[in-house]
């Protein structure tokens, strides 16, 4: 198929964490595929922070990248702390970032700018809307509106949110036109096959009559979750198979803890620093997931319809992970362990799920009602609807 239409020119911005970066990447891939099906090309420039996750991701995808200065504002209820030297210094970097972003926008000439949050989105979004008059689409991944997106939403041509619960938090003028797209999920996550995980990871010792628990604390692992699991290890393996992705710094400690396991329990225990390309198959195999509750994790678990026990990262910006977890627990779509979490609290939370297949299934069904596997397509619809022609 051929087309005489010019390429669509997109600037994407957002990053600092995977929660902002990977939804942006998924949206770019989806938009590229949509346009390719119409015989049209996509030209993309990623504007972000130098030496950052988003720069590495852009490089890996062959996406052109331009860095801008970023000012990180450290939030506090205490106005004196808000005026800390670090905040004052960072605030001073924002105008520089805006000027650099204006230069990048004027040079690239985008039809639309997509911002997925993080501090880097602010100078780019401000330059797009106030200085360059380029349509801006803002996407919010969490239940609560992040500080960057809160700053940009009023001037954006389109606002996309991941949850209906976010709509009341938007200014009324924005709320009327906001679109609930969900949070983009990598398509490959939705295509896993449990039997492939058994083969790829060598899980021949797993007892398929028992449920399988997948434990993860993100790429670097979670010391908190790792210690909780370590303290419950014999009990957990008495009731389930377990794949534990613990992060590279924690493997040896957890391996030592497992040396005393009886052979029949040890055979049901798979410990690994990373889960790579086999992640979709691991998620397909898992009956229960024990994890943090970042926006990306929530999007994947709900799109797949997985029963889960969530241990929010207490230091997440704006306590977003706790809000994400509590939101799902209220709907019966997860169990949230908020506040001080002990091994005993974890045991009490996960035991009913391991013991009762019907309970797991009911929670999985509730989780699926919050899932939006077509979120990337919905977001692309919005981006195309506001792009300059």
Task: Return d(Cα 372, Cα 327) in angstroms, integer.
Answer: 16
Spatial distance between the Cα atoms of 296 and 324, rounded to a whole number of angstroms: 11
Cα–Cα distances (Å) from 365 to 283, 353, 372, in that order, read 16, 14, 13
Are 167 and 214 members of one domain?
no
Tokens 């799902």 belong to: 328
Residues 221-275 pLDDT 10s? 789 999 999 999 999 999 999 999 999 989 999 999 999 899 999 999 999 999 9
Q: Does the residue 2 lie in any domain?
A: no
Predicted local distance difference test score (pLDDT) of residue 147? 85
Full residue range of the structural domain in which residue 74 is found: 8-185+374-386
Do 57 and 152 share a structural domain? Answer: yes
Same domain for 181 and 316, yes or no, is no
Q: Indicate the number of domains in the chain.
A: 2
The answer as to whether 285 is a domain residue is yes
* Per-residue pLDDT at 19: 85
**Residues 35 and 19 both lie in one domain:** yes
Q: List strand residue ranges (DSSP E) for 141-240, in order.
A: 158-161, 179-180, 212-216
Q: Is residue 247 part of a domain?
A: yes
- With respect to residue 111, please indicate whether it lies within any of the assigned structural domains: yes
Q: Which of 110, 132, 120 is nearest to 42 (CA)?
A: 110
- Hey, what are 245's tokens? 């992705």
User: Is 234 among the domain residues?
Assistant: yes
CATH code where residue 231 lies? 3.40.50.2000
Q: Could you tell me if 356 and 305 lie in one domain?
A: yes
Per DSSP, the residues of 263-310 read HHHHTTEEEES---TTHHHHHHH-SEEEE---HHHHHHHHHHT-EEEE
pLDDT at 4: 74
| pTM: predicted TM-score of the whole model, two decimal places | 0.85
> Per DSSP, which regions of 90-150 are E strands?
112-115, 136-140
Domain identity same for 15 and 134: yes
Which of left, alpha, beta for 87 (phi over 0: left; psi -120 to 50: alpha)?
Answer: alpha
Residues 379, 253, single domain; the answer is no
pLDDT at 273: 93
Assess whether 113 and 27 both reside in one domain: yes
- Note the pLDDT of residue 165: 86
Q: Residue 148, Cβ neighbours under 10 Å: how many? A: 27
Residue 1 lies in a domain: no
Look at residue 166 and tell me if it is in a domain: yes
Residues 48 and 145 in one domain: yes
The contacts of residue 77 (CB under 8 Å, 6+ apart) are none
Q: Say whether both 178 and 320 belong to one domain.
A: no
List b or e across 101-134, with b for residues whose CB sees 16 or more CB atoms inside 10 angstroms.
bbebbeebebbbbbbbbbbbbbbbbbbbbeebeb
Q: Return the exposure string of 337-347: e unless at least 16 CB atoms fall within 10 Å of the residue's CB, then b.
A: bbeebebeebb
If asked whether residues 339 and 382 sit together in one domain, one would say no
Residues of the chain under the 70 pLDDT cut: 1-3, 72-91, 317-318, 389
Is the Cβ–Cβ distance between 124 and 70 less than 8 Å? no
Identify which of 21, 13, 30 has the alpha carbon closest to the alpha carbon of residue 373.
30
Q: What is the pLDDT of residue 82?
A: 47
Between the two ends of the chain, the Cα-to-Cα distance in Å is: 21
| Residues 39 and 177 both lie in one domain | yes
């Amino acid at each position: 198929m051929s087309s005489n239409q010019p390429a669509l020119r997109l600037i994407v911005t957002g990053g600092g964490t995977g929660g902002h970066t990977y939804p942006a990447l998924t949206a770019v891939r989806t938009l590229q595929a949509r346009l390719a099906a119409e015989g049209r090309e996509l030209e993309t420039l990623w504007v972000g922070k130098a030496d950052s996750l988003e720069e590495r991701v852009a490089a890996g995808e062959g996406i052109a990248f331009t860095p801008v200065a970023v000012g990180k504002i450290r939030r506090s209820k205490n106005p004196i702390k808000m005026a800390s030297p670090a905040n004052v210094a960072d605030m001073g970097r924002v105008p520089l970032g805006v000027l650099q972003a204006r230069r990048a926008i004027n040079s690239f000439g985008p039809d639309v700018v997509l911002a997925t949050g993080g501090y880097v989105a602010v100078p780019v979004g401000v330059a797009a809307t106030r200085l360059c008059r380029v349509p801006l689409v803002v996407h919010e991944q969490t239940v609560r509106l992040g500080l960057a997106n809160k700053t940009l939403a009023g001037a954006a041509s389109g606002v996309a949110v991941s949850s209906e619960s976010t709509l009341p938090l938007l200014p009324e003028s924005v709320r009327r036109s906001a679109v609930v797209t969900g949070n983009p999920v990598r398509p490959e996550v939705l295509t896993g096959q449990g039997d492939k995980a058994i083969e790829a990871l060598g899980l021949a010792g797993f007892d398929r009559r028992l449920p399988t628990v997948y434990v993860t604390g993100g790429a670097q692992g979670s010391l908190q979750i790792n210690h909780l699991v370590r303290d419950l290890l014999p009990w957990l393996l008495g009731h389930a198979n377990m794949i534990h992705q613990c992060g590279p710094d924690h493997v040896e400690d957890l391996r030592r803890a497992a040396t005393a396991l009886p052979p029949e329990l040890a055979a049901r225990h798979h410990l690994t620093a990373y889960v790579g390309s086999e992640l979709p198959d691991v998620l397909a195999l898992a009956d229960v997931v024990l994890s943090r509750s970042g926006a990306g994790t929530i999007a994947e678990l709900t799109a797949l319809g997985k029963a889960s026990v969530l241990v929010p990262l207490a230091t997440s910006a704006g306590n977003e992970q706790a809000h994400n977890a509590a939101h799902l627990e209220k709907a019966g779509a997860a169990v949230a362990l908020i506040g001080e979490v002990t091994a005993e609290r974890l045991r009490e939370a996960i035991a009913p799920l391991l013991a009762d297949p019907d309970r797991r299934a009911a929670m999985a069904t509730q989780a699926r009602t919050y899932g939006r596997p077509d979120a990337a397509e919905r977001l692309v619809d919005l981006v195309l609807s506001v792009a300059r022609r």
